[in-house]
Each structure stands twice: as structure tokens, then as C-alpha cells.
Amino acid sequence: MKKGFKIIGIGLLIIIALLGLGATYINSNDLPSYEVQTIDFQADINPESVARGKKIVSMLCASCHMNREKGNLTGTQMLDAPSEFGVIYSQNITNDKTHGIGDWTDSEILYLLRTGIKRDGKYSPPYMAKLPHMADDDINAIISFLRSDDPLVAADPIPDQPSQPSFLTKILCQVVMKPFPMPTEKIAMPDTTNVIELGEYLAHNLDCFSCHSADFKTNDFLNPEKSPGYFGGGNKPLNFEGKIVLTPNLTPDRETGIGKMTEEQFIRAVRYGLKSGEASLQYPMLPYPALTDLEASAIFKYLKTIPPIKNKVERVVYD
Ligand code: HEC
Ligand code: HEC
């Protein structure tokens, strides 16, 4: 009997020692690295693709990469990232050749956006957008715009601040979050005459689901609708003062979701951040004025088709 305990004790000690070793290993090795596949891609740049790219980048990338003092995409500290992820800076993605991405090839940008792997093989952390399902034409539009001389992305030599990912972020990236495979088939644009399909495409590719599901840590970017608490809200991004702004439930549940919201109310909230009889929506929910009424309405109609989740999220308004 006593001997049995001793063996269990030794076993436990060994397990603890191994866990400790694993932890030191992960901590000193930073984020994991992967092989970079060479792909042959050159953006097809034309005035339409640049304009479309500007629209997508302003809605999707600017929320994280915008330097508010400079008014361009030279990067900033990501104040809305929960502190459990560490201290996170987005980077300079202007055309500067030293500090920005001016010397990245189109293929390197494409590969990062699709897989999450940077050109040096480093995995880009969980808070950088990954676009495994975005249509080829939209990705082409993003890259076309990044190459343009628009004031948002014109070369600006502001040095990057290195992120300090937490131990948790490193564990997540070593164990749970893996790069996505480079798509092997063409991804077509959604059929814009099918509002539900268009709404689903926007709700996934504009990252609405990642803030509005249960937790950043458990989101599933490959199969967004399998993310725990899909659109049920309760995720905890932070505002500029580091206070939690809970995300509301956007499932069609009548009591706790958007079941009673009208389409007009939804469109006003999404495009302009306005709520009738209540304070405007607070950061990090930024308005999406670039969405058309048709697109915002498509998201609404799509959300009406997903499974309702009963999850009451109490709104807190800070002044
Ligand atoms: C939710 C926040 C977020 C969104 C949305 C986002 N990014 Fe990022 N991005 C980051 C962060 C944070 C980093 C830095 C990661 C690191 O520390 O390595 C980054 C890194 C990058 C890099 C690598 C830069 C370098 O020099 O290594 C590129 C390129 C990039 N982002 C482009 C984009 C584009 C294009 C979009 C829109 C399609 C986008 N990002 C959307 C947060 C974001
Ligand atoms: C960075 C995280 C984030 C992203 C991305 C995001 N939201 Fe939000 N959203 C929030 C937060 C936080 C609130 C609550 C703000 C408040 O209470 O003032 C909110 C509020 C809302 C509301 C108001 C709901 C209500 O009951 O009043 C709607 C509608 C909404 N978001 C839709 C969207 C859509 C559609 C998208 C994508 C196009 C989106 N959100 C992307 C964080 C986000």
C-alpha cells in the first residue's frame, strides 16, 4: 500500500517536472515556426480592385492596424485584446520597405492572410486576422490596395513595436491553434443575389463572429459556425481604459438576442453605432459606414437563420 503511494508520488513528480520543462521550452521558444511554401501569385491590380480593397481594409484591417495619431496603418498597441494574451502591438503594414511591408512579395502577403504564417515562417498570433474562406477576388483586392499610394498605406517609416505574447498565447499557438492549409481550389465570391449566402460570407470574413462568440480562445476560424457560443455573445474585449465591454448576443433568441430587433435598428447599429434611446455603441465595436444597407441587411437576415442561444448579456455603458 505504502509502496503504491510512493510510486504514484514519484510518477507525479516526474509529470510535474515534465510539465515544467515543457513550460520553459515553450516560453523560451516564443511562437512556433513553420515551413513557408513558395507560391506563385501576382496581384491583378486595377482601379476596381484597389477601390474594393480599400473598402475591405477599412472595415477589417484598419480596426487593428490603425495608428490613431498618424491616421495610417503604421500599427498600434491593441488595447482591446484581453490582457491574458499579453501586450500586443499590430504592425506597420504601409509600403515602407524597412518597417512596413513594402518589400514583401504579393505571394508572401497572400500566404500570411490565408495560412497565418509570416514570410520568416513565424506563426502570426491568434489576434491577427486569418482569412481561409475569403474569396480570391477579395484577397486580390486587399493586396491591390496595400500596394497603392493611398494615404492609409503610403510608405511611412515608423518602426514596429514587438509584441510580448503571454505564456497562454504561446501555449495556444503551440498546441491548439495551427496554421491553415493554403486553399487548393479557387474560392468564388458569394452570390450577391442570395442574401443569406452574402450575409454569412460577411459575418465570417469581416470577423463579426470572432468578437460576438463566446471567447477569442475557442473561436474556430476554419469552421466559424462551430465556434463555441457562435454569435451568442459574452466575449470580453476591452475598451481604451482596459475595461471589459461584453459583446452582445446576436443570435435570433427573442429574449436575449436580436429576435426583437428590427432590420432598421440593426442596420443603424452596425453602420453608425447608433441605438435608439440608448448610448451609442462603444469601442471596440466600431461603426461600419462602408457597408451598404444591402450588406448590413444581409448579415441581419443570415443571423436570423442561425440557432438561437439563450445567453443574457448585460450591457454596461461607461461614460
Ligand atoms: C484583430 C486584429 C487584427 C486584424 C483584424 C488584422 N491584423 Fe494584421 N496583425 C495584427 C497583429 C497584432 C499583428 C502583429 C503580430 C505579431 O506580433 O507578430 C499583425 C501582423 C500583420 C502583418 C505582418 C507584418 C509584419 O511586418 O510582420 C501583416 C502583413 C498584416 N498584419 C496584415 C493585415 C491585413 C492585410 C489585415 C486585413 C485583412 C489585417 N492584418 C487584419 C492584428 C490584426
Ligand atoms: C472587436 C470586436 C467586435 C467586432 C469585430 C464586431 N463587434 Fe459588434 N459589438 C462589439 C461590442 C463590444 C458591442 C457592444 C458595444 C456596447 O455595448 O456599447 C457590439 C455591439 C454590436 C451590435 C449591437 C447589438 C445590440 O443588441 O445593441 C450589433 C448589431 C453588432 N455589434 C454587430 C456586429 C457586426 C454585424 C459585426 C461585423 C460586421 C460586428 N458587430 C463586429 C464587438 C465587436
266 lines ligand 2 (CB under 6 A): yes
Give the ligand whose atoms come closest to the C-alpha of residue 271. Answer: 2
Residue 4 has pLDDT above 70, yes or no: no
Beta bridge partners of 244: 238
Q: What is the pLDDT of residue 74?
A: 98
pTM above 0.85, yes or no: yes
Q: Does 311 score more than 70 pLDDT?
A: yes
User: Across-strand partners of 123?
Assistant: 117
Residues within a 6 A CB radius of ligand 1: 57, 60-61, 63-65, 78, 88, 90-91, 93, 101, 109, 112-113, 118, 124-125, 127-129, 142, 163, 207
Instruction: Indicate whether 254 pLDDT > 90.
Output: yes
Whether the predicted pLDDT of 275 surpasses 60 = yes
Q: Which pLDDT does position 1 carry in this prediction? A: 46
Helix (H) or strand (E) holding 112: helix 106-115
pLDDT in tens, 14-54: 666 666 655 555 555 578 889 998 899 999 999 999 999 99
Higher-confidence position of 26 and 142: 142
User: CA 227: distance to chain centroid?
Assistant: 13
Residue of the nearest CA to atom 26 in ligand 2?
A: 248
CATH top-level class of 47-176: mainly alpha
**pLDDT at site 309:** 98
Q: How confident is the model at residue 172 (pLDDT cuts 50, 70, 90)?
A: confident
Residue nearest ligand 1's atom 24 by CA: 91
Share of the chain above pLDDT 70, in %: 91
Q: Do domains 47-176 and 195-303 have the same CATH topology?
A: yes
pLDDT for 31 equals 81
Angle at 200 between CA 244 and CA 55, to 5 degrees: 75
78 lines ligand 2 (CB under 6 A): no
Position 84 pLDDT exceeds 90: no
Ligand 2, atom 23, lies closest to the CA of 269
Mutate which of 106, 124, 170 for ligand 1? The one with the most ligand atoms within 8 Å of its CB, which is 124
How many other CB atoms are there within 10 angstroms of residue 40's CB atom? 6
Q: Where are the domains of the chain?
A: 47-176, 195-303
Domain 195-303 -> CATH class = mainly alpha
Å from CA of 209 to ligand 2 middle: 9
Q: Which of 156-160, 170-174, 221-225 has the lowest mean pLDDT?
A: 170-174
Q: Which three cell numbers stand for residue 193?
A: 443575389
CA of 130 to the centre of ligand 2 (A): 19
Task: Provide CB contacts within 8 A for 142, sequence distance 6+.
Answer: 53, 56, 57, 61, 113
